[in-house]
Structure 1
Amino acid sequence: MASDQGFADYVLEQAEGAGGLRVRRMFGEYVLYCDDKVVALICDNRVFVKPTVAGRAWAGDVPEAPAYPGARPSLAIDARLDDRAWFAELLRITAAELPEPAPRRKRAGRG
């Protein structure tokens, strides 16, 4: 089951205050970016935050599960998604620990 736009909008609303947030539809699901870093996946209308050392420490006893078959386990945020302040802080902490995205290569001109 693919995630729907309404749920992705809800996740953005819940994460308000975390910084530069955006979602992008990808393969029927959504990717959540914070400050241009991939911090979470939205799959089957569930949120899976990338696990980092600081994020795990902040999250406490949040269970881990793969976002899709074959994926590495991520923090499954189902039960805490309604806690806006907690969720926004988790995303800020996660983004701070992740490396900067690699610069995009320019495409070679045609002609």
Structure 2
Amino acid sequence: MQPTRKVICRKSVHLGHNMASDLSYVEYVIGQIKTSGAIMYKKMFGEYLVYLNNKPVVMVCDNTAFVKMLDCIKPLMEDAETGFPYDGAKEHYIVNTDDGEHFSKVVNILEKNVPLSNSKKKKK
């Protein structure tokens, strides 16, 4: 008997049949972020990681926006659902991207509290 997870975000994640996220959804997510910083995204394994000022702030998996469960955003995310963006991942908050004001607050707080992304550079 397999152990059950505390929270399952989507059936497809639980069953291991992840569907790749749509670029149009990622563009919608980015459009909801109100900030003066530089926003970009990278596609990885059919899913996306959104960066603000080179800091990873939002993971988009199966057309769902996830953020790390950090203490700095805990008061803002008390009522949020949680889930696992992919098999083997730690539990994350699921962000309501339709509420642009709240989503922007969360993302801007995360940007101030997560380290810069360490991109591995190829040696010549």
How many Å apart are 1:86 and its aligned residue? 0.8
Work out the CA distance in 2 between the residues paired with 1:26 and 1:34.
17
Q: What TM-score, normalized to structure 1? A: 0.85
1:38 paired residue number: 56
Are residues 1:100 and 2:116 paired?
yes
- RMSD value, Cα: 1.7
Q: What TM-score, normalized to structure 2? A: 0.76
Work out the CA distance in 2 between the residues paired with 1:84 and 1:24.
21
Shift in alpha-carbon separation, 1:52–1:45, aligned structure 2, 3 A: same
Shift in alpha-carbon separation, 1:3–1:95, aligned structure 2, 3 A: same
Asked if the contact 2:40–2:52 (Cα under 8 Å) also holds between the matched residues in 1, the reply is yes
Q: Deviations over 1:13-70 (max 9, x none)?
A: 1113263211111110100111111112100000001221011222221122111121
Asked if the contact 1:48–1:75 (Cα under 8 Å) also holds between the matched residues in 2, the reply is yes
Asked if the contact 1:41–1:47 (Cα under 8 Å) also holds between the matched residues in 2, the reply is yes
Identity %: 30
1:86 paired residue number: 102
Asked if the contact 2:81–2:94 (Cα under 8 Å) also holds between the matched residues in 1, the reply is yes
Work out the CA distance in 2 between the residues paired with 1:14 and 1:99.
22
Q: Which runs of 5+ in 2 are unaligned?
A: 1-18
Q: How many residues align structurally?
A: 106
**How does 1:16-27 map onto structure 2 within 5 Å?**
16-17=34-35, 19-27=37-45
- 3-state SS of paired residue (1:100): coil
